[in-house]
């Protein structure tokens, strides 16, 4: 029985791996069930057994494998909600760490590539847009709250009379553009080694630090 379960697990992973690469090569809509089964080296029946709803189930499983960037950021940014001292500095550290982590996570890079270029969020896949929008809204809520608390602690003030809502949206827009550009054209800049510089540039467009520089990067 153990061998059967292990074989089933390997087959499922092979199907997911095949689909992940095919969705990048051909796009979600143009990839067929037969394409996935053939690339995985299994029968169409095996695909149907593991994923009764076909591509819908497969794509859902891929997203469960690696949470999308807004969802990951929202989860990590929740640390700012628990940070009593220096919430903006905590946010800065988390954003830098997430960008650096992305450069070492090839699977997350592929998922982001599928979702930013090869996925049509319509019809049976419309739920993907709903899921991503919810993650973005959560991220914006946390960033806005972080900026508000950082202002109250006199850690920062917002540039150009921005509201915390506007500031959160600008941070998200800049991060989204940065990540998507790097995913598609990595030769443009070294994300891993320039993450700190890039995050600081983004934050400078929104906030003005009111505390000494050494307080901007609190220890883990």
Same domain? For 99 and 119 the reply is yes
Q: Does the structure show a pLDDT above 90 at 116?
A: no
Who wins on pLDDT, 204 or 127?
204
Residue recorded with tokens 């973005």:
136
Residue 216 lies in a domain: no
pLDDT tens-digit profile of 54-90?
888 998 888 877 665 566 666 777 766 665 678 899 8
Same domain? For 41 and 68 the reply is no
Q: Does the structure show a pLDDT above 90 at 151?
A: yes
Same domain? For 98 and 145 the reply is yes
Using pLDDT thresholds of 50, 70 and 90, give the confidence band for residue 96.
very high
Mean pLDDT of 137-162: 92
CATH number at residue 32: 1.10.10.60
Same domain? For 78 and 182 the reply is yes
At residue 19, the pLDDT reads 92
Same domain? For 183 and 199 the reply is yes
Same domain? For 27 and 113 the reply is no
Using pLDDT thresholds of 50, 70 and 90, give the confidence band for residue 184.
confident
If one counts the domains in the chain, the total is: 2
Residue 218 lies in a domain: no
Distance of CA 186 to the CA centre of its chain: 16
- Max Cα–Cα distance, the chain, nearest Å: 65
CA dist 125 and 83 (Å) reads 37
At residue 79, the pLDDT reads 66
Q: Using a cut of 0.85, tell me whether the model's pTM lies above it.
A: no
Question: Is residue 208 helix, strand or coil?
Answer: strand
CATH number at residue 205: 1.10.357.10
């Amino acid at each position: 029985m153990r061998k059967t379960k292990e074989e089933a697990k390997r087959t499922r992973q092979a199907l997911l791996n095949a689909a992940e690469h095919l969705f990048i090569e051909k796009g979600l809509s143009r990839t067929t069930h037969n394409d996935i089964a053939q690339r995985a080296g299994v029968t169409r029946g095996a695909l149907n057994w593991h994923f009764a709803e076909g591509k819908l189930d497969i794509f859902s499983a891929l997203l469960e494998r690696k949470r999308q960037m807004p969802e990951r950021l929202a989860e990590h940014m929740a640390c700012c909600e628990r940070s009593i001292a220096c919430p903006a500095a905590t946010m800065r550290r988390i954003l830098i760490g997430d960008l650096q982590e992305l450069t070492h996570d090839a699977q997350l890079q592929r998922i982001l590539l599928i979702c930013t270029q090869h996925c049509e969020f319509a019809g049976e896949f419309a739920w993907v847009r709903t899921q991503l929008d919810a993650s973005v809204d959560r991220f914006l809520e946390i960033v806005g709250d972080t900026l508000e608390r950082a202002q109250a602690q006199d850690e920062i003030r917002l540039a150009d009379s921005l509201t915390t809502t506007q500031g959160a949206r600008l941070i998200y827009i800049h991060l989204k553009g940065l990540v998507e550009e790097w995913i598609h054209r990595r030769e443009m800049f070294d994300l891993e080694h320039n993450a700190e510089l890039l995050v600081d540039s983004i934050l400078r467009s929104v906030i003005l630090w009111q505390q000494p520089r050494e307080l901007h990067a609190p220890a883990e």
